[in-house]
């Protein structure tokens, strides 16, 4: 059991008969009345987001998940296949469980798979990924006084706003938490 004072972003709890991950939380101490914790919970299986308020000190069931390194192999319809790097066992995961990390997945990338009783619950992509730019408009010299930006499509289909100097074929680093361009590689 965990208390509301133990909440942290990414923590997985059991709530309403399902597994929920804490996306955001905020402790609130009003002038009158008791303190409470306002949270935004995301259902691990359906991806549905729910706003829930807990009283301060309320107990919840924390779920301990085991993290293992897996390699993304290929896609077949709505199933994505991952291979355990130690046992070489392949696990298919449905597209619905990958909604957040899907735009960042390339074949042969290494990811962390969160398991509960050896069943895959969530896929965590690295915080930064390197993607190749496949399509972008050419940046013209003198377009702006202080630099500028333009949209670029990556090899996974993700559209990222990049500086004008980037061209097709270049590799960029993208932050998977924000979906923003970080640097050229």
Please check whether residue 62 is in contact with residue 6, taking contact to mean a CB–CB distance below 8 angstroms.
yes
Q: Taking the model in full, what pTM does it have? A: 0.73
Structure confidence by residue, pLDDT tens digits, 21-52: 898 999 999 988 899 999 999 888 777 889 99
The CATH number covering residue 83 comes to 2.40.50.140
- Taking residues 62-67, what's their average pLDDT? 88
Please check whether residue 107 is in contact with residue 144, taking contact to mean a CB–CB distance below 8 angstroms.
no
Please check whether residue 38 is in contact with residue 89, taking contact to mean a CB–CB distance below 8 angstroms.
no
Is the pLDDT assigned to residue 144 strictly greater than 70?
Answer: no
- Taking residues 55-82, what's their average pLDDT? 91
Clarify whether residues 42 and 72 are in a common domain: no
Q: Please tell me the predicted confidence (pLDDT) of residue 25.
A: 93
In DSSP notation, 42-87 reads EETTT--EEEEEEETT-EEEE---EEEEEEEEEEETTEEEEEETTT
Q: Please tell me the predicted confidence (pLDDT) of residue 51.
A: 94
Q: Please tell me the predicted confidence (pLDDT) of residue 153.
A: 93
Domain encompassing residue 162? 128-184
The CATH number covering residue 33 comes to 2.30.30.30
Which of 79, 95, 124 terminates a domain? The answer is: 124
Q: Please tell me the predicted confidence (pLDDT) of residue 31.
A: 87
Overall domain count for the chain = 3
Is the pLDDT assigned to residue 100 strictly greater than 80?
Answer: no
């Amino acid at each position: 059991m965990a208390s509301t004072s133990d909440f942290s972003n990414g923590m997985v709890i059991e709530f309403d008969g399902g597994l929920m991950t804490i996306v955001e939380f905020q402790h609130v101490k009003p002038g009158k009345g008791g303190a409470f914790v306002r949270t935004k919970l995301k259902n691990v299986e359906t991806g549905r987001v729910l706003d829930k308020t807990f009283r301060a000190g309320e107990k919840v069931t924390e779920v301990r998940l085991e993290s293992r390194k897996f390699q993304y192999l290929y896609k077949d319809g709505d199933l994505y296949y991952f291979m355990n790097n130690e046992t070489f066992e392949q696990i298919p995961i449905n597209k619905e469980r990958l909604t957040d990390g899907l735009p960042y997945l390339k074949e042969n990338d290494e990811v962390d798979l969160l398991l509960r009783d050896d069943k895959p619950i969530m896929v965590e992509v690295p915080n930064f990924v390197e993607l190749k730019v496949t399509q972008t408009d050419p940046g013209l010299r003198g377009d702006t006084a202080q630099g500028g930006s333009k949209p670029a499509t990556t090899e996974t289909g993700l559209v990222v706003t990049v500086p004008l100097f980037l061209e097709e074929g270049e590799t960029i680093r993208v932050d998977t938490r924000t979906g923003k361009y970080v640097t050229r590689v």
